[in-house]
Amino acid sequence: MLNHLKRWLSSKRVPRSAVIATLCFAILLTISHFGGARFSARHLTHPISFQARNHLGFGPEINSHLKIFSIDQKTLGEIGRDDISVEDWTALFGALHKSKVRAVYIDLPFSFPITRDEKLLQKFRDAAQALKPVVVAARHEREKINGLTPARLGFLGFDPGSLKNLDDSAELVYGPHTSLSGILTHVGHVDVEVDGEFKPLRRVSKEDVILHWSLQAIFKFESKDGQLVISDSPVPLNEAGSALVNLPDPSLISDRVTSLEPFLRRARSGQSLEGIDEGDIVLIFNDMSRATLVRTPVGEVPREVVMTSILNGALQGQWLEHLRAEALLLFAACFIGFVLAAVTHPAVSAGLLIFSTLLLIGGSLAIFAFSNVLISWGMPISGLLLTGFTVLADRIRTRERRARLLKSSLTGVVSPKALRAIVRSSRALDVEPRCQELTIMFIDIVGFSRHAMKHSADVNFKRLSDYFNSVRAIIHQYGGVVDRSLGEGLICYFGYQVAGQPRILANHAEAALDCAIRIQQEALGLSIAQDDPDSVIFPLRIGINSGEVHIGDLGAANRIEITAIGHVVNIAQRLEGACGVYRILCGLQTVDHLRDRIDLLTGMRKRNISIKNQEAKFEVYEHDPFALRPDLVEKAIQKFRKSYGRSIEDHRYSIPADAPIAIWTQLGRASLVDVSFSGLSVELEEVLGQGTLLKFTIDSQDRTMETALRDAEIEIIIAEVRWGREAGEGYRYGLMIKNLTVEQRQTLLNQFQRFLTAPLAKSS
């Protein structure tokens, strides 16, 4: 995977997968900015994190000194009224004072006069003064309530303006009645927010703030560098000034709620309060069975459970912190998803993405359980999965498109096994043009065009396609790469590695010649086996040359077309044209690579040939795969001629060996064998390639022929070599006249008539 990543990083252009990953990150970042992250946290990540932590037993424990009481229906039934009287409060305060409790928290505002009896009020004042501290609830309103006097509270001991995230909106706070001023001095707001958050501080006026009810009396407050510190524990606040409530399993709190009735009864009778010990913190709530439910990460719970959780967290010094780097975490998740999908094999990418998702969730839950850092992993998980699977889908689509391209471009070019390996490989196909030493092979079917005149185009195409498929299979067996079909022939390379990096094979010339011998053997066997005159016979010529060529992909953007260019390729094609039927003509460099193959060199015969458009003669070597069985070659040629001659309309006439006619070419004297309206056959000692142009003149013993040709304005005759084969010590060539008009050709044929015998046969 690291190698894939290095290769990607070193690429000169930005991969499309990187663009996709960037777009995914930008989209999710935008969604997160417009509330997507909070929605995800509220409905998915925070509930799972809290529930998992509590289920695994890593939630906060309830402080053993917390004693929670409810003014339930049983209590109200005992006192026979809707609220607790001043006498009962006085008795309860006295009993709690005797128990030496640390503090008493009462979820009541005491906003109205509790009695008009001064004696009872004084006893209440004395009991409250002795019990200190007593924390009561406050109401905060943005509008003034008639009949109540707003309280002004200033008790923090530091400038609240130094806090960074304090709400700047002024609110009115209604606390204890003025008759209780100086007694119930600890007043806190009791508001809690949805999703497990609360505001430790609320502004009362421009100068004053009010603490939350759960944080009153027993805690020390400081402001350090703009951050709220409670009893030496920093309280992380968000931009709105809210803190996270460290919520335990709600049942842990509910199980500890006790009816106030038995304690109130004992307090009335002056008895000690059993179950309340020195240093305990007493919380007194209204009937919790009728409490307002608040939506939190642990479900909908009574507001009093949240308030108790706040106090419990403050006592434990365990404040929750929300991980602030949401954008960075989202980027990291998108990058991980991109890397996993972009550089790993698609078959394992999906599994790695799922595993990484579970790992991210598990890691987030572990961090929350052990360090109280809450991670909103919903958007990062979305980033990882969205980026990963989008990039993966694009990779699969690209691979499928690549597979289709490779199959359409390379089917028949390389072997099926090599093609499957190329398609499966994740590496880029190396078809960049480069110089490389190769062996080039040209294969041509002799006389197929004339033979095809007997059949329809679709039949010819089918036969040619089937035959070339068999030839390609042989080429692939010897490690060759087929460039393309050339109508009636093929061009292929040996030593070019399509599937990997450039690598010159030491035996590419040997492989090419071995392959050519095998192809000729198959062709000869097929020709001999044909008995039907209408059957297709494929006599072949093969030219092989070795050397440095420039090879690579010259196809369009949606197709790969491997092509080699250079002088070596041109010579190989000329060798094929100069080659005899069922023979193989090799260039000098090819033979140089065969020094260790005595078996191949033994059958080589040196030739000096003239090639079209080349003045100098070339030293080449001819290999006859059937040197020991020339009868087989003759048999195949006879069958080919028999089948081939049926479609020819041009008559050939033989010339007697002692005819007083001389043919003079630029290569010397040639022996005339036969003539036709379109051309003639001659014998030469030289090896000529197909397409070579011969210039010649004709002499006769009595000079009458020269005079007749001169009168017809025939001085030099130009003819093209159309075919050639070995004949005794030399070679016989079929020449097609190129520069004479119909009238001139007829004149030439008429001049030959004095020496002609009967027509031979229909032939080319």
C-alpha to C-alpha distance for 460 and 452, rounded to whole angstroms: 6
Contact 214, 314 (CB under 8 A): yes
Q: Is residue 221 pLDDT above 90, yes or no?
A: no
Report the range out of 39-43, 662-666, 686-690 with the highest average pLDDT.
662-666
Token pair 């079917």: residue? 445
pLDDT for 154 equals 47
Strands (E), 383-445: 434-445
pLDDT for 252 equals 92
Helix, strand or coil, per DSSP, at residue 1: coil
Q: Which residues are paired to 483 by β-bridges?
A: none
Region 678-683 average pLDDT:
89
Q: Is residue 190 pLDDT above 80, yes or no?
A: yes
Q: What is the mean pLDDT of the chain?
A: 80
What phi-psi label fits residue 185: left (phi over 0), alpha (psi between -120 and 50 degrees) or beta?
Answer: alpha
User: DSSP characters for 298-316?
Assistant: TEEEEHHHHHHHHHHHHHH
Inter-axis angle of helices 86-98 and 118-131, nearest 10: 30
Region 282-299 average pLDDT:
87
Which of 459, 460, 489, 455 has the alpha carbon at shortest distance from 472?
Answer: 489
Which of 501, 343, 496, 523 has the alpha carbon at shortest distance from 426?
Answer: 343
Write the burial class of residue 524 (CB in 10 Å: 0-12 exposed, 13-18 middle, 19+ buried).
buried
C-alpha to C-alpha distance for 471 and 473, rounded to whole angstroms: 5
**pLDDT tens per residue across span 527-577:** 888 776 666 677 888 999 998 888 766 555 555 666 778 888 888 888 887
Which of 614, 683, 647, 602 has the alpha carbon at shortest distance from 764?
Answer: 647
**pLDDT tens per residue across span 564-623:** 788 888 888 888 877 878 889 999 888 888 888 887 887 788 887 766 666 667 788 888
**pLDDT tens per residue across span 648-679:** 446 778 888 788 888 888 888 898 888 888 88
Residue 609, CA distances (Å) to 246, 614, 616 in order: 97, 10, 9
Residue 338, CA distances (Å) to 25, 63, 262, 379, 394 in order: 10, 46, 65, 15, 11
* 6-15, 34-43, 414-423, 662-671: the lowest-pLDDT one: 6-15
Write the burial class of residue 245 (CB in 10 Å: 0-12 exposed, 13-18 middle, 19+ buried).
buried
Contact 586, 576 (CB under 8 A): no
Report the range out of 220-224, 352-356, 433-437, 615-619 with the highest average pLDDT.
352-356
Q: Is residue 160 pLDDT above 80, yes or no?
A: no
Inter-axis angle of helices 86-98 and 261-268, nearest 10: 90
Per DSSP, the chain holds a count of helices (H) and strands (E) of 23, 35
Is the whole-model pTM more than 0.85? no
Banded model confidence at residue 40, pLDDT cuts 50, 70, 90: low
Region 419-441 average pLDDT:
66
C-alpha to C-alpha distance for 222 and 229, rounded to whole angstroms: 5
Percent of the chain with pLDDT over 70: 80
Banded model confidence at residue 313, pLDDT cuts 50, 70, 90: very high
Going by their DSSP bridges, the two strands 134-141 and 299-302 should be labelled as unpaired
Report how far apart the first and last C-alpha atoms of the chain are (Å, whole number): 64
Torsion angles phi and psi, residue 480, rounded to 5? -85, 160
**pLDDT tens per residue across span 366-381:** 999 999 898 888 889 9
H or E segment to which residue 652 belongs: strand 651-654
pLDDT for 502 equals 44
Going by their DSSP bridges, the two strands 540-553 and 562-565 should be labelled as antiparallel
C-alpha to C-alpha distance for 39 and 25, rounded to whole angstroms: 18
Tokens of 593: 């690579």
pLDDT for 501 equals 40
Q: Is residue 469 pLDDT above 70, yes or no?
A: yes
C-alpha to C-alpha distance for 210 and 282, rounded to whole angstroms: 21
Query: Comparing 698 with 615, which gets the higher pLDDT?
Result: 698
Token pair 């990779």: residue? 395
Helix, strand or coil, per DSSP, at residue 34: helix
**pLDDT tens per residue across span 235-261:** 888 888 889 999 999 999 999 999 999
C-alpha to C-alpha distance for 341 and 345, rounded to whole angstroms: 8
C-alpha to C-alpha distance for 623 and 605, rounded to whole angstroms: 7
User: DSSP characters for 250-307?
Assistant: HHHHHTTEEESHHHHHHHHTT---TT--TT-EEEEEE-GGGPPEEEETTEEEEHHHHH
Region 117-135 average pLDDT:
87
Percent of the chain with pLDDT over 90: 20
